[in-house]
């Protein structure tokens, strides 16, 4: 089992930190007026743009001077490996450059975290079997829960890149066209069934112009974020036939501030589940391509403490991000650096592992109770929702930072 | 009725040209090694990047030096008006700068046309009533042809910006997962039902961060292109439930090389049709926001002449681009400069005005015959499909250039 690496930054050596030297996640931070690329280490963010300017990081060309990690992605996987190796050297216990590196550390509590990369396009999948079964059972009955195609392809739809925001961004409750089953005509009103979807996001770091294999797809992935695909269930119910969700998913999608690289997650790879049908050749598993990542969601009403309402794990997915990406290219669809692929809602088999309020309250029929005594079926105004994820080693854990958002009233 | 404006370029004064002085559409051309912004006039393209460098066009800042029209869009509608006015002055009969302008003209036959703008995101709608009725009748029967939401909202789905290509780009027949109704299991194979969709595309030229009205949406639109949303009907049939089309629409979407500005189309505005239901306030018509544009599609098998198989008009749409854009923002979805909105397939009431082969051959049951004697239900390898559109004045017409593509065999 992989062990914790020792950093000269004391807070990075605690078993409690989500940013040990093994992690080194990539973000963008605002310090003063400057937006800069940074790497989280213990309680600090390392100003890697400054270290590059000083020559302590040299990637052959300046790649860390913009307020996004896309240039690093674009430079290719050799550079990904070089940068990670150099960061480990710089931050390790006994680093020859400790003084210079220390001068480029800012306490995380002093900086604001911004979008870590420019999202080219956003695709969202529907690739968790428990989630699809739960939703299908609610809408079509247990006998027809999974659509006929579901066990053969990772069902996905294109989302809206312009609506992806970083953790901490307040979200206004959306309005939209709604029509209940007993209403004669639709009306335009604030959503009453606003929801979360607990997901992981995979970031495409290498482009493709043609169909790619599952192995090639895995190589193209730069890293992962936690992702909350805010969803207005009542807008969705009225709009989604026949061409899928549109405005119900376009208000916002929140991602964690830190991109955890594929390299950091390597020790946590795990297999996808046993298949009901053998997958066709272009989608077949070629190795462990999911990751064991514990996921949780808390909800904090205004003025109340947070209650954890969901606990699940990324390994509950039926399809890996590599399989999703391979499918995404199957028609020849070009992929670009910065494309973001949402896994789909990650639900487990038990009630408390359901990754959305729609499932947790079973369509609103079974409200759940918070520690404060309040109940919820869907999100109320001023609720703060926080998603977290941790891959756990023997004596360390790898985190993504909070993926959080507070819901404000409809405008 | 608006009359033709006289240019000093003789070929622009013919009633046959699609590029009279009234048009002045925007494109990007390759001449030698240089990619430059250009404006079509008669048989020529005007190198406006060169004129800007010479100071003959001055927009306050350099806006014509990149290989895309996005900087002009981003500069706002005052600049859009200034540029058009200046171009009319420079190119008019009696222009004070005729010699300098003539030196910047290249024969259209000598240049290659490239993508005229950078597509930020691509959304495709389903807003033609005849098309939706035809497709619905085929799939669900005449009684349930239009989905219940169809008459209340312009149904749309997010497409894939990375797959938008300029006219003239060859398209490889896609492969994908297919399963016929009698097949036990799906297989991966080339699409046998590859099709066109005859559409107009509206280009968003101003951003928005919140809900906009139909009037505000109309102000945000920079111009229009002809658009062919290539569609693999067999891939679509298997994948599209429950979340809509995905890989069936991701191979390619071809646009015309010229953006015709809203200003050029102004004389051709017309009303949307009578409503079956009154639209809700945020979508209500506030003036004539469709355009009378004659549209046609030809197909030329390899070695044969082209046969015109479709003739229709943009005014057949049920929803205008402004209404589609207003709906697009209804949940708070941010819009960006360079967003492209496909109208949806434009079909008329008669058989020869159906805007896709799916409708024209009624799902393949009624193959149609070309001038060469060959028949078609869907596209065959090496067929060249060409879409054209013309807004027609008393003694001039406004065109978009050919929107064409040849289908090559599956890779």
d(CA A331, CA A179): 36
pLDDT at A348: 97
Domain B10-114: CATH superfamily is: Fumarylacetoacetase, N-terminal domain (2.30.30.230)
Task: Compute CA B257 distance to the chain's CA centroid, rounded to the nearest angstrom.
Answer: 10
pLDDT tens, residue by residue, B32-70: 899 999 999 999 999 999 999 999 999 999 999 999 999
Active site residue B131: yes
pLDDT at B226: 98
Chain A partners of B187 at a C-beta cutoff of 8 Å? 280
Options B131, B172, B282, B327, the catalytic residue: B131
The number of beta carbons lying within 10 Å of the beta carbon of residue B305 is 10
Q: Which parts of B173-242 are beta strand (E)?
A: 175-178, 187-190, 194-195, 198-204, 221-229, 231-232
- List the structure tokens of B315: 């005014």
pLDDT at A1: 55
Using CB atoms within 10 Å of the CB of residue A382, give its burial: 0 to 12 exposed, 13 to 18 middle, 19+ buried: middle
Report the CATH fold assignment for B122-408.
Answer: Fumarylacetoacetate hydrolase; domain 2 (3.90.850)
Q: Using an 8 Å Cβ cutoff, are B268 and B360 in contact? A: no
pLDDT at B31: 87
Q: Which residues of chain A have pLDDT under 70?
A: 1
pLDDT at A139: 86
- List the structure tokens of B169: 């780009």
φ/ψ of B270, rounded to 5, equals -150, 165
Chain B partners of A159 at a C-beta cutoff of 8 Å? 158
Side-chain-facing half-sphere of A201: CA atoms under 13 Å:
35
Query: Which residues on adjacent β-strands are paired with residue A189?
Result: A176
pLDDT at B338: 98
pLDDT at B2: 81
pLDDT tens, residue by residue, A329-364: 999 999 999 999 999 999 999 999 999 999 999 999
pLDDT at B32: 87
pLDDT at A32: 87
Å between B95 CA and nearest CA of chain A:
44
H or E element that contains B157: strand B156-158
* Closest residue to B172, CB basis, from A172, A235, A332: A332
Domain boundaries in chain A?
Answer: 10-114, 122-408
Q: What is the mean pLDDT of residues B265-277?
A: 94
User: Cβ–Cβ of B327/A247 closer than 8 Å?
Assistant: yes
- Could you tell me how many CB contacts below 8 A there are between chain A and chain B? 181
Residue B1 has pLDDT above 60, yes or no: no
Q: What is the mean pLDDT of residues B345-357?
A: 97
Residue B325 has pLDDT above 60, yes or no: yes
d(CA A353, CA A141): 21
pLDDT at B140: 87
Å between B110 CA and nearest CA of chain A:
28
pLDDT tens, residue by residue, B282-303: 999 999 999 999 999 999 999 9
User: Cβ–Cβ of A241/B172 closer than 8 Å?
Assistant: no
d(CA A384, CA A285): 38
User: Cβ–Cβ of B247/A333 closer than 8 Å?
Assistant: yes
Side-chain-facing half-sphere of A181: CA atoms under 13 Å:
0
Nearest Cα neighbor of B252 from A130, A229, A315, A210 is A210
pLDDT tens, residue by residue, B194-244: 999 999 999 999 999 999 999 999 999 999 999 999 999 999 999 999 999
Å between B345 CA and nearest CA of chain A:
14
User: Cβ–Cβ of A232/B331 closer than 8 Å?
Assistant: yes
Q: Using an 8 Å Cβ cutoff, are A255 and A274 in contact? A: no
Å between A50 CA and nearest CA of chain B:
31
- Catalytic residues of A, which ones? 131
Interface test with B, best of A127, A140, A243 (most B CBs within 10 A): A243
Give the burial string for B289-301 (b: 16+ CB within 10 Å, else e): bbbbbbbbbbbbb
* Closest residue to B280, CB basis, from A147, A186, A331: A186
């Amino acid at each position: 089992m992989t062990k914790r690496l020792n950093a000269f930054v004391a807070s990075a050596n605690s078993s409690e930190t989500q940013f040990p030297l093994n992690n080194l996640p990539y973000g963008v931070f605002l310090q003063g007026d400057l937006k800069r690329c940074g790497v989280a280490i213990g309680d600090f963010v390392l100003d890697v743009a400054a270290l590059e300017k000083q020559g302590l990081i040299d990637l052959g060309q300046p790649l860390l001077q913009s307020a996004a990690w896309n240039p690093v992605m674009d430079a290719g996987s050799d550079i990904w490996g070089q940068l990670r190796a150099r960061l480990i050297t710089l931050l390790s216990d006994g680093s020859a450059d400790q003084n210079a590196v220390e001068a480029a550390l800012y306490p995380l509590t002093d900086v604001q975290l911004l979008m870590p990369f420019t999202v080219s396009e956003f695709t969202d999948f529907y690739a968790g079997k428990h989630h699809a079964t739960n939703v299908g059972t609610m809408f079509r009955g247990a006998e027809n829960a999974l659509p006929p195609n579901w066990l053969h392809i990772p069902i996905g739809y294109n989302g809206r890149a312009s609506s992806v925001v970083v953790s901490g961004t307040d979200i206004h409750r959306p309005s939209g066209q709604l029509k209940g089953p007993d209403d004669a005509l639709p009306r335009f009103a604030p959503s009453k069934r606003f929801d979360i979807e607990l997901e992981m996001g995979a970031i495409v770091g290498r482009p493709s112009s043609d169909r790619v294999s599952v192995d090639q797809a895995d190589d193209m992935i730069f890293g992962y974020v936690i992702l909350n695909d805010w969803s207005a269930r009542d807008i969705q119910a009225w709009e989604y036939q026949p061409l899928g969700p549109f405005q119900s998913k376009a208000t916002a999608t929140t991602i964690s501030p830190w991109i955890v690289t594929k390299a950091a997650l390597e020790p946590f790879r795990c297999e996808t589940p046993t298949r009901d049908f053998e997958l066709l050749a272009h989608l077949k598993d070629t190795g462990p391509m999911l990751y064991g990542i514990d996921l949780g969601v808390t909800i904090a009403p205004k003025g109340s403490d947070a209650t954890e309402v969901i606990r699940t794990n990324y390994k509950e997915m039926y399809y890996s991000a590599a399989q999703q990406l391979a499918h995404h290219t199957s028609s020849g669809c070009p992929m670009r650096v910065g494309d973001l692929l949402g896994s789909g809602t990650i639900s487990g088999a038990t009630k408390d592992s359901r990754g959305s309020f729609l499932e947790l309250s079973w369509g609103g029929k079974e409200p759940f109770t918070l520690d404060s005594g309040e109940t919820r079926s869907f999100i109320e105004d001023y609720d703060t929702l926080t998603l977290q994820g941790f891959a756990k080693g023997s004596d360390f854990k790898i985190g993504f930072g909070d993926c959080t958002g507070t819901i404000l009233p409809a405008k």
